Amino acid sequence: MNRSPVRDLVVGLFVLAGIVALAYLSISIGGFTWHNHGGLKVYADFSETGDLTVRAPVVIGGVRVGEVSAITLEKDFRARVDMILDSALQLSTDTSASIVTAGMLGDRYIELQPGGEERNLKSGDKILYTEPAMILERLLGQVIYGITKGSDTQPSPSSGPKTKSGGP
Amino acid sequence: MANAIAQLGNRSLHVVRGLGNMAAFAASIGLAVVTPPVRPEAFVRELYKLGVLSLVIIVVCGLSVGMVLGLQGYHTLERFGAEQSLGALVGLSLIRELGPVVTALLVTGRAGSATTAEIGSMVATEQLDGLRMLSIDPVRLVVSPKALAMIVVMPLLTAIFIVCGLYGGYLVGVGLMGGDPGLYMASIRTSVDFYNDVEACLLKAGVFGVLVGLIATYRGYTSAPNAEGVSAATTSTVVMGSVVVLLADYVLTALWGV
């Protein structure tokens, strides 16, 4: 069991490589942060959150400024969404929050529109103005309902003889 | 009829006795690890044998698994026009599942079998008995550095495997298929979370390290003291280690969703 400097060096390099790989996975890929960083904690009530999830981004003008930390149901059956925002952010008290969708069927996120009030939101404050999530299925349902009602009163002219030309 | 039932009882007792012996063996390893004297020299030598010598197959297999994931994933996602999610697919499958499991299987085959063969041949040539004659505890001197090194090596090798796999997926998805490099990395970063995914991956790797280290050393320590016994113990390590890793993987995933 004598010392062998070359082997020790190789083992040291191996352990270093492993730790670098771990750190890369944790910090760069996994986005590791200590949870006790003091962010601006605000919340907002929505009548509909769609499939908004915890850790969904909160953006202003497309720039990510924080994330959703919790989604719970209030006593009045509205959904309370807690957010942790960048602590350097100066948001006025009449800021409004809306749940929007990335693309047609993409993930939900929260978009904030800053207002013009003098006073700023503090940690623990509530965002008063909110806009609920749009549920695509409900909108489609309304559109289809509208179309069928329309076709009852005004039947569409029958289409011509079927052809096989239609294809994607 | 009664004979068959008695045989079943005998078999069950045999299994339970084996598990009990293994638990006692694990406890003695744990005791040897936490009580002085510590032997950093022996530990470093085992790190070299188990870790550094496994590095080549880990890197090669990591790259090829990542490349296959990139290729398969790209062709599947292309059908839905979702090629930009390739990074999420490769990253999540590697970090949550394939990284820890494939690394544990490879380490079982490469380092676990070598550990068993080494301890087994020491049993066969009565070296461990010689140590006992000198009133040196063979578990402390021979076994515990190997088991401890296996526990330390497994998460490190898993991390290296995953980084190689991510790069392999990048090579295929971006280099071969012409995907966007920024989208690939961004897709990995947005989908992988430290607390949900990376932490779970490390937990799995640690548990697999404990299991493989324990099985490999126990099989070698209890092998029959002849050449046939050593070869049987080595085979048994690979078979039992692989099965236990896969079972433990299911249990960990099902119970804690890791």
Residue B214 sits in which domain range?
Answer: 42-256
- Is the Cβ pair A25, B162 closer than 8 Å? yes
Mean pLDDT of B76-93: 86
Residues from chain A that touch B80, judged by Cβ atoms under 8 A, are none
- Average pLDDT across chain B, whole number: 89
Best of B39, B52, B95, B197 to substitute, by most chain A Cβ atoms within 10 angstroms, is: B52
Mean pLDDT of B199-214: 92
pLDDT at A130: 86
pLDDT in tens, B103-149: 999 999 999 999 999 999 999 998 988 999 998 888 888 899 999 99
**Closest Cα partner for A102 from A143, A152, A50, A138?**
A50
Structural domain includes residue B21: no
B 50-109 near A (Cβ less than 8 A): 51-52, 55, 91, 95
Structure tokens of B24? Answer: 């006692």
- ipTM (interface predicted TM): 0.76
- Is the Cβ pair B157, A18 closer than 8 Å? yes
- Is the Cβ pair B44, A7 closer than 8 Å? yes
pLDDT at B59: 94
pLDDT at A160: 44
Q: Using CB atoms, pick whichever of A3, A17, A29 lies closest to residue B41.
A: A3
Distances from the Cα of A51 to the Cαs of A67, A79, B82, B230, B237, in angstroms? 15, 12, 20, 57, 47
Structural domain includes residue B31: no
Q: Using CB atoms, pick whichever of B160, B192, B193 lies closest to residue A21.
A: B160
pLDDT at A168: 44
Q: Using CB atoms, pick whichever of A8, A18, A30 lies closest to residue B44.
A: A8
Backbone angles phi, psi at B255, to 5 degrees: -75, -45
Q: Rounded to 5, what percent of chain A is helix, strand, coil?
A: 25, 30, 45
Residues from chain A that touch B155, judged by Cβ atoms under 8 A, are 18, 22
Q: Among B4-8, B20-24, B34-38, B169-173, which stretch is predicted with the lowest mean pLDDT?
A: B34-38
Residues from chain B that touch A11, judged by Cβ atoms under 8 A, are 44, 47-48, 51-52
Q: Are A42 and A124 in contact (CB under 8 A)?
A: yes
Residues from chain A that touch B194, judged by Cβ atoms under 8 A, are 26, 30-33
B 219-238 near A (Cβ less than 8 A): none
Q: How far does CA B69 lie from the centroid of its chain?
A: 21
Residues from chain B that touch A1, judged by Cβ atoms under 8 A, are 39, 41-42, 45
Q: Among B67-71, B180-184, B234-238, which stretch is predicted with the lowest mean pLDDT?
A: B180-184
Measure the CA–CA gap between B163 and A26, rounded to whole angstroms.
11
Q: Among B76-85, B96-105, B199-208, which stretch is predicted with the lowest mean pLDDT?
A: B76-85
pLDDT at B154: 93
Q: Residue B25 contacts by C-beta under 8 Å, 6 or more apart in sequence?
A: B139, B214, B217, B218, B221
Q: Using CB atoms, pick whichever of B47, B48, B95 lies closest to residue A25.
A: B95
Give me the residue spans of the domains in chain A.
1-32, 40-137
- Is the Cβ pair B51, A26 closer than 8 Å? no
- Starting at the earlier edge strand, list the strands of the sheet with A108-113: A126-127, A40-46, A79-85, A63-73, A57-60, A108-113, A96-101, A129-131
pLDDT at B211: 93
**Closest Cα partner for A45 from A72, A81, A76, A70?**
A81
Q: Does B198 touch chain A (CB under 8 A)?
A: yes
Would the pTM of this model clear 0.80, i.e. be above it? no
Q: Does A30 touch chain B (CB under 8 A)?
A: yes
- Name the most confidently modeled range: A33-42, A63-72, B40-49, B55-64: B55-64
Measure the CA–CA gap between B133 and B204, rounded to whole angstroms.
39
Measure the CA–CA gap between B258 and B256, rounded to whole angstroms.
5
Structural domain includes residue B77: yes
pLDDT in tens, chain A (168 residues): 456 788 888 888 888 888 898 888 888 877 766 555 567 888 888 888 887 888 788 888 888 888 888 888 988 888 899 888 887 788 888 888 888 887 666 778 888 888 888 888 888 888 888 888 877 788 888 888 888 876 665 554 544 444 444 444
Structural domain includes residue B148: yes
pLDDT at B65: 94
Q: Using CB atoms, pick whichever of A10, A25, A55 lies closest to residue B52.
A: A10
Mean pLDDT of B94-101: 92
Measure the CA–CA gap between B152 and B50, rounded to whole angstroms.
10
Q: Among A44-48, B34-38, B212-216, B246-250, which stretch is predicted with the lowest mean pLDDT?
A: B34-38
How many domains, in total, are found in chain B? 1
Mean pLDDT of B51-69: 93
End-to-end CA distance of chain A: 73
pLDDT at A162: 46
Residues from chain A that touch B42, judged by Cβ atoms under 8 A, are 1
Residues from chain B that touch A10, judged by Cβ atoms under 8 A, are 48, 52
- Nearest-CA distance B103 → chain A (Å): 13
pLDDT at A166: 41
pLDDT at A167: 41
Structural domain includes residue B189: yes
Best of B43, B46, B93, B156 to substitute, by most chain A Cβ atoms within 10 angstroms, is: B156
pLDDT at B121: 93
